Chain A
Amino acid sequence: MNDTIVSYLAQAPGYSLAVSKISEILGFDATGLVTFLVFGIAVFIVVNVMALVGGLGTYAERKISADIQMRQGPNRVGPYGLLQFLADGVKMITKEDVTPRDADKTLFFVAPLLALVGVFMSLAVIPFSSGFTLTSLNIGVFYLLGVSSLVGVAIFVGGYASNSKWSMLGGMRGASQIISYEVPVTLSILAVVLMAGGLSFGTITEAQGGLPHQWFILHNPFSFIAFFVLFVGALAEANRAPFDLPEAESELVSGYHTEFTGMRFAFFALAEYIEVFVLCGVCAALFLGGYNVPFGLGSGDFIIKNFPAVHPMIAKQIGNVLQLKVFVLKTLALYYVVIWIRWTLPRLRVDHLMTLCWKYMTPIAIFNLVGIAIWIYAFEGKSMLTLMASALSAMAGSGGGH
Chain B
Amino acid sequence: MSHNLDVYMPVLILAAFAAIMFVGALLVGKLLRPHNPTELKVSPYECGEVPIGTAWSNFNIRFYVVALIFIIFDVEGAFMFPVAAVFKRFVEMGEGGPVLALLLLFISVLLEGISY
Residues of chain A at the chain B interface (Cβ within 8 Å): 2, 4, 6-7, 10, 31-32, 35-36, 39-40, 42-44, 47, 93-102, 112-113, 116-117, 119-121, 123-124, 134-137, 142, 145, 160, 162-168, 172, 175-176, 179-180, 182-183, 186-187, 190, 193-199, 253, 258-259, 262-264, 266-267, 354, 358, 362-363, 366, 369-370, 373-374, 376-377, 380-381
Nearest neighbor of A182 in chain B, beta-carbon distance: B70
Per-residue interface assignment for chain B, residues 1 to 40, with 1 indicating a CB less than 8 Å from any chain A CB and 0 otherwise: 1101011111101110111011001101110111111010
- Complexed CA–CA distance, A99 and B97 (Å): 60
User: Can you list 30 A-B pairs with a CB-CB distance of less than 8 A?
Assistant: A4-B10, A6-B1, A6-B6, A31-B1, A35-B1, A35-B9, A43-B13, A44-B17, A96-B33, A96-B36, A97-B29, A97-B30, A98-B42, A100-B44, A102-B43, A113-B18, A121-B11, A123-B14, A135-B10, A162-B44, A167-B44, A186-B74, A263-B26, A267-B22, A267-B25, A362-B114, A373-B103, A373-B104, A381-B88, A381-B91
In the assembly, what is the distance between CA of A2 and CA of B89, in Å?
A: 19
* B55 at the binding interface (Cβ < 8 Å): yes
| A163 & B21 in contact (Cβ 8 Å cutoff) | no
Give the residue of A10, A179, A366, A377 whose beta carbon is less than 8 angstroms from that of B70: A179
Chain A, interface SS category = helix
Q: Is the CB of B45 within 8 A of A253?
A: yes
Residues of chain B in range 30-81 having any CB-CB distance to chain A below 8 Å: 30, 32-37, 39, 41-47, 51, 54-56, 59, 63, 66-67, 69-70, 73-74, 77-78, 80-81
Inter-subunit contact B4/A186 (CB<8 Å): no
The listed residue (A35, A40, A164, A182) touching B55 by CB distance below 8 A is A164
Bound-state CA distance A94–B26 (Å) is: 10
CB contacts (< 8 Å) of A194 on chain B: these are 84, 87-88
Return chain B residues, CB-CB under 8 Å to A120: 14-15, 17-18
CA distance A315 to B2 in the complex (A): 30
On chain A, the residues within 8 Å of B45 by CB distance are 164, 166, 253, 258-259
Instruction: Give chain A nearest CB distance to B39 CB in angstroms.
Output: 8
- The reply to whether B14 and A47 form a contact with Cβ atoms under 8 Å apart is yes
Interchain CB contact under 8 A, A102 and B54: yes
Asked if residues B26 and A2 are in contact (CB atoms below 8 Å), the reply is no
Contacts of B67 in A (CB 8 A): 176, 179
